[in-house]
Amino acid sequence: MNVLTLPEAGTAAPLPRGLVIFDCDGVLIDSELIASRLMAEALRAAGAEITAHDAHVRFTGGSRGEMLRICREDYGLHDPEPALAGWEDRLFAAFRAELKAVPGIEALVAGLDRPACVASNSRIARLENSLGLLPLHAMFGGHVYSAEMVARPKPAPDLVEHCLARMGVPAQEAVMIDDSPHGIEAARAAGVAAIGFVTPGDPRDGRAELLLAAGAVAVVQGAPALAALLEA
C-alpha cells in the first residue's frame, strides 16, 4: 500500500466508517494536467507569462473567484473573464476527447459499503462537462455538490457542511478525500477527518507535506492505497 505518510502508530483514532466525501478533480477524475495546460495557453494568449507547471501550482484546487483574483493580482490581467471563458470552452472540448477517471477510482467507489458524495469547488457546468461524462457520475446517485451551491467555496467549511446536511450524516461519522490544501482545511473546519490524496503522476513536489500541514490525518498516493486505508 502506497501510504505516503501516516500518524505514528497508536496515536491516531480509527477513521470514521460513515460517509465518504470525495473531491472531484485530481481525486475522481484525471483532469488537472489537462486543465493546467489549457489554462496556461489561454493566459499566454491574453498576455501573461505562465507555464503549464505554473498554472498547475497556482490554480489547481481553487474556485473560479480565486482564479480571477490571481489573474488580476499576480499576472496583471485587468479583465481576465474573457480568457477564463475561452479556457472553459476549450477545456470542455478537451475533456470530451481526453478525460479519464483516476486509475482504480471507479472500482473503489463501486465497492464502497457506505454512502458517498462529491464536494467540488468547480462550477456546476464544469462538473457536468467533466465528471458528468464518465460512468463515475451515476455512482453517486445525484449527490454531486458544487461550491456554487453554497456561500463560500473551500477552504471555508460551507460545502462540506452542505454535504453533511444533504446526506444526513454528522461530521464525526464522515471522512473527506482531497488533493488540495483547500479541501483539507474545509474538512477540518467542518469537523470532518481528511485524507490527503496525491494523484499518480502529479508533477508538484512536496504534496504529502503540504497536505499534512493543512491537517490531513494521512496522505496516500493512488486509488489502491486509498481503498486499503478506507478498509483498514
Domain ranges of the chain: 3-30+100-231, 32-98
pLDDT > 90 fraction of the chain, expressed in percent and rounded:
72
**CATH number for the domain whose boundaries are 3-30+100-231:** 3.40.50.1000
| pLDDT recorded at residue 4 | 57
> In the predicted model, what is the mean pLDDT of the chain?
91
Query: Cell 490527503 maps to which residue?
Result: 196
Other CB atoms within 10 Å distance of the CB of residue 141: 10
What DSSP state is assigned to residue 132?
G
Peptide bond before residue 155 is cis, with ω within 30 degrees of 0: yes
What DSSP state is assigned to residue 46?
T
Spacing of C-alpha 142 from chain mean position: 18
Task: List phi, psi (to 5°) of 40.
Answer: -60, -40
Judge contact between 43 and 50, C-beta under 8 A. Answer: yes
Q: What pTM value is reported for the model?
A: 0.85
Kindly list the strands in the beta sheet with 144-146, ordered across the sheet, starting from the edge strand earlier in the chain. 3-5, 218-221, 193-198, 174-178, 19-22, 116-120, 144-146
Judge contact between 171 and 190, C-beta under 8 A. Answer: yes
- Those residues whose C-beta lies under 8 Å from the C-beta of residue 114, and which sit 6 or more positions away, are 17, 18, 19, 20
CA dist 90 and 195 (Å) reads: 32
pLDDT band at 8 (very low <50, low <70, confident <90, very high): very low
- 217 pLDDT more than 80: yes
Q: Which residues pair with 194 in a beta bridge?
A: 176
| pLDDT recorded at residue 10 | 39
Top pLDDT among 140 and 66 is at: 140
71: left (phi over 0), alpha (psi -120 to 50) or beta: alpha
pLDDT band at 2 (very low <50, low <70, confident <90, very high): low
- Distance in Å from the first CA to the final CA of the chain: 11
| β-bridge pairing 174-178 and 193-198 | parallel
